[in-house]
Amino acid sequence: MITAGTKEWCEEPGGEISGGVGLTALMVAAARAIETHRPDALARDEYAEHFVRAAPASASWPVHPREVPDGDANPLWGRLGRYFGLRTRVLDDVVLDAGNRQMVLLGAGLDTRAFRLDWPPGSVVYELDKPGVLAFKQEVLDAVGARPRTTRRTIPADLSTDWAGLLGEFRLDEPTTWVVEGLLLYLSADAERHLIEIMDRLSAPGSTIVYEIKPIRDLALARDHPIYTSTKTQIGIDLLALFDLGRRPDSAAALSSRGWTTRVHTPFDFTRRHGRGPLPDPPHDALESNRWVIATK
């Protein structure tokens, strides 16, 4: 049993990830797999379905649109799944537009950007996560013969502690792209502040940070939303029980005060930009309060 802040990761025999945040990584991988097979895919990840099929806990989940009950009307694999597909595309674009040769994935989960994206010569991708997650991920990638397109360094780490010393050959003079895809949802306010401080301290001018935040404005309304009830019913994940629902810090303002240029977006901004993805669903939209923050130093 390995703890991540106040949450738990369970490692089962045979490399299975189960329980808590581990299952959410598989859920997002399943969403990426479904997105990959859409004719109008926002992002493609040919490795995603292999992660889903390799873990007994998720082996029966859908990995193709034709396998989704009720199609796009399914709150989990339709609307929330398309949300994850859109998030993948937006973060891919941020990484590519930044053009930095050094990238750090905090809470890397089953991310495969080191294998999917085109990288400038001499690039290095650091992936930080719990040991069991990284081991499972590597086992699956090895099984399908995956080869990264750039130098990739995996680092077992507890991101609720001071992990900066684990980065090894990390270059302080090199602009860095930091990707924090959903991790802050699970961390306490103090842990979020600590993470922001470390990224700021390690970032040379030209660095970029992209992350997701979700202020929970009305827990009672959110808990009854079909996205959350369907996720719990279909795959047994109570997302709101995993989120840290305490008062959130304004990390975008904190970065601005440290000299970063910050932009705060709703997911729907990118739905409209790309012409596909989730749209507002009034009156009580579970995605309405989600924000994607992009900051440049």
Residue appearing with tokens 């029980």:
241
pLDDT given for residue 214 in this prediction: 87
pLDDT given for residue 264 in this prediction: 97
- Do residues 88 and 32 touch, judged by C-beta distance below 8 A? yes
Average pLDDT, the chain: 90
Residue appearing with tokens 């910050």:
262
- pLDDT per 10-residue tile (average), the chain, 297 residues: 31 45 91 97 98 95 97 95 98 98 97 97 97 95 98 94 92 98 92 96 98 77 86 94 87 97 97 94 86 97
pLDDT in tens, 122-146: 999 999 999 999 999 999 999 999 9
pLDDT in tens, 210-244: 999 987 666 666 778 899 999 999 999 999 889 88
The whole domain housing 280 covers: 2-296
- Could you tell me which of 240, 164, 249, 254 has the C-alpha nearest to residue 213? 249
CA dist 43 and 174 (Å) reads: 28
* CATH value at residue 22: 3.40.50.150
pLDDT given for residue 13 in this prediction: 29
pLDDT given for residue 21 in this prediction: 59
- Could you tell me which of 168, 171, 107, 121 has the C-alpha nearest to residue 149? 121
Both structure tokens of 194: 């600590």
The count of domains in the chain is: 1
Helix axes 20-36, 131-143, angle to 10 degrees: 30
CA dist 180 and 108 (Å) reads: 8
pLDDT given for residue 49 in this prediction: 98
